[in-house]
Structures are given as structure tokens and as C-alpha cells.
Amino acid sequence: MMNATIRNLRQHASCAFAAMLLALAGCATVPPPPSSTAEQPFEQAVAQATDSLVQQTQKQPSLLARMSAKRGVVLDPMIDAGSAQQTAATQLLQDRVSQRMVAKHESIEFLPFQRDNLGRARYLLTGTMTRLSVTEARSPLRIDLALTDLASGIVVAQSSAVARDEGLDHTPLRYYQDTPVPTKDLVIESYIRTTATPAGQRADAYYLERIAVAPVIKDATTYYNAERYQDALAQYNAAGGTSAGDAQLRVLNGIYLSSAKLGRTAEAEQAFGKIVAYGIAQQQLGVKFLFNPGGTAFWADAKVSGPYAMWLREIARASADAKVCMDIVGHTSRTGSVAFNDTLSMQRARYIRQRLVGESTALGERTTTSGKGFRENLIGSGTDDAVDALDRRVEFKIVGCG
């Protein structure tokens, strides 16, 4: 009888110890409370999502709470999931989330998003803002937040809430206003998937495997937004010199933009060529060409449209050299009738094709055109300004020849 009791005690102790090890590895998570799908004011939605996130991390054995009085958190800048941009609204979101976490939960300590702190912090915080419909003006926004245990790669907490879009400013930050090509690439898509990953599951590996270079990209973008272009270029080049950063659109765009701002024309053209090569390799390249309203002529301001001739030259050269066939797809913002925008988007696609064939006659037989109007908007605001510039893009989609 005594031996059986001892065996039971040993088994109980072994199970308890195993549970503690799982918790230390970040695996002992609890299911998150149900996320509200009801629309709320922005501040209320942020508060709900933030509190839910932290509460999930606090439901751990009391021993762990004593072992770790402070839990370090680093924040990889939050983004708009549809456009992959950082905007005034996403910046407000991350400020509100971090402020509430610190003010309401004493165990949370935010550390600067720096490479060294990736080894010191316990959690990585990510967040996205997703418009539920791009066909309705000011449609609600879903807020997604996730905390990932940096040691184990497990998402230990994930929460969501739906906010009304009232009084929010969706203007992209300067870097994203200037960038010629949308930055949604494999890393950004992996970031978005990680932020929507349920608690207890592994974060998306593609994102985590490249997290070490993310602080360098963040610093470079901060410098660019502050018009410190020399510092920005140095950081973008540093990121591009790593295997994790050399094929990220944020880096390629950053090198191009910083070089252009510094008047380094040859370097800028070379950098744009790498952007085009990346797009061809991925079989799709979207470029923001700004046209005069309702027409096919490029925007008259040379500060905006001045580089377009070089862009078209590089697209034509790379496409001809690669011997690819392309469908040139025009898009418009949500202003005016469906029929008008369908026609306008096709006219703009044909104009771009005409310019490309002028650079390389071989593309005459390898290119087709189509117009999508505003049916594939990414923003959908219909404001015809910096907010919805991505909606007025031209895409180059690689298609089969023949």
C-alpha cells in the first residue's frame, strides 16, 4: 500500500513538473476569452483587445508569477493588413495598446525594439488593423493583437475586437506615401498570419526566422520619416546585406527612396531595377502611378511623376530581358460610376503598355491590358489623396505566353 502511494505521489510530481516546463516554454496557454464581434468606439475596442491579451498571459501557475515579476515586451510596428502600410491610425493603435498594457498591468515592461532586446524580452507584440469591407466608406475595422513567446515561438495570447472608423486618420506615414511599390511581401503576409494565430499555436515560421532584421528596418524607416536620408540609407543597406533582409520589399523600396532623396541617381535606378526583378520573380508587380484626375496623363508635378520615365524604362528592360509575358492591369479609386472607372482603368493600362512598347518593341507581342476599375481596391476610401493612392496602381502580372 505504501509503495503504491509513493508511486502515485511520484507520478503526480512528475506531471506537475512537466506542466511547469511546458509553461516555461510558453506552451501552457489558455484559450482566449471570446472576442467581441460587436462594433465599438475605437478606444473601447482597443481597451478590450489589450486587456484580453494580457489576461491570457496571467493565467499561469503562481510559481511562474513569482519567478518573473516583470515580463519584457518588444513591439514590431503595427500595420494595416490590407495595404501593409503604417498609417497615423496604426501608429495610434500601437501607442494606445502599449500605454494601456503598462498603465493597467504592472508586470509588463516595454523594451525598445532593438536586436539585443530580442534576447532579453519574453514576448513579441504584433498587431494589425483590417477593414472589414472596402466597398463601404468608413466600414468597421478589426483589430488583431498577438503576443508571441520569443523563446519557444508559441503565440501565448491572441485577441480581436471590432472598432468603428470614427475620426481615425488613415494617412500613410511618409515612407509609405513615397514608396513606389506596395510592400506586402512574404514577410509581411507572415506577420499578418502570426497576428491572427490562435493562442497555443506556433507563430508563422517565415516571419520569426527573419525577426532579427526587423529592428534594423524599423530604425531605417524612422530615419526616413524624419528626413534623415543618409542614416536611413545606411540602415536599409545594413538590412539588405543580410540573408533575412535582402529580398524584403521594405528594404528594396527603402534603398531606392533614400538614394533618390540624396540625389544618387545611378544608385536609385539600380535599386528600382532590383524591385522590378523581385516583382518578376514573384510574378506580380504593382506600381503607384499618379495620373491627372479622370485622364491618362501623368501628374504634372515633376516631384511626383519625375521618376516615372525611369520606372517604365526599368520595367521594360527587365521584362524584355526575362522574356516574360505580362497582363498590364489598371485600377482606379472609388470615385464616379462603375462604367466610367472600368473605362478609365483600361485606358491607363493601355497608356502604360504604349510607353513600355516604346522602350522595347519586343513587348508588343508579350503584353496585354485589362482594367479592373475599383473592384480590387485595397483601401476603398474614395478620397483621391494619399490615403487611397494604392487604389490607383497599375499592376504587371506575369502570364503564360501563347
C-alpha span between 375 and 285 (Å, rounded):
18
Among the four given CATH numbers 3.40.50.360, 3.40.109.10, 3.30.1330.60, 3.90.600.10, the one describing domain 283-402? 3.30.1330.60
Any idea what the Cα angle at residue 118 is, between residues 246 and 50, rounded to 5°? Answer: 110
Any idea what the Cα angle at residue 229 is, between residues 225 and 230, rounded to 5°? Answer: 145
What b-and-e string marks burial along 287-317, b requiring 16 or more CB atoms within 10 Å of the CB?
bbbebeeeeeebeeeeeebebbeebbbbbbe
Query: Residue written as cell 506575369?
Result: 398
Per-domain boundaries in the chain: 22-172+183-193, 283-402
Record the cell numbers describing residue 369, joined without a space: 491590358
CA dihedral 312, 316, 322, 323 (to 10 degrees): 140
Q: Are 392 and 333 in contact (CB under 8 A)?
A: yes
pLDDT on residue 36 = 56
Q: In whole angstroms, how large is the CA radius of gyration of the chain?
A: 24
In order along its 402 residues, the chain shows pLDDT tens digits of 434 443 443 444 434 433 333 333 343 444 444 455 789 999 999 999 999 998 998 765 543 443 455 789 999 999 999 999 999 999 999 999 999 999 988 888 999 999 999 999 999 999 999 999 988 878 999 999 999 999 999 999 999 999 999 999 999 999 999 999 999 999 999 999 999 999 999 999 999 999 999 999 999 999 999 999 999 999 999 999 999 999 999 999 999 999 999 999 999 999 999 999 999 999 999 999 988 888 899 988 888 899 999 999 999 999 999 999 999 999 998 888 999 999 999 999 999 999 999 999 999 999 999 999 989 888 878 888 777 888 889 999 999 997
Query: Residue written as cell 475599383?
Result: 374
C-alpha span between 355 and 309 (Å, rounded):
9
pLDDT on residue 35 = 52
- HSE value, Cβ hemisphere, 13 Å, CA-based, for 362: 13
Q: Is 115 exposed, middle or buried (0-12, 13-18, 19+ CB in 10 A)?
A: middle
pLDDT on residue 106 = 83
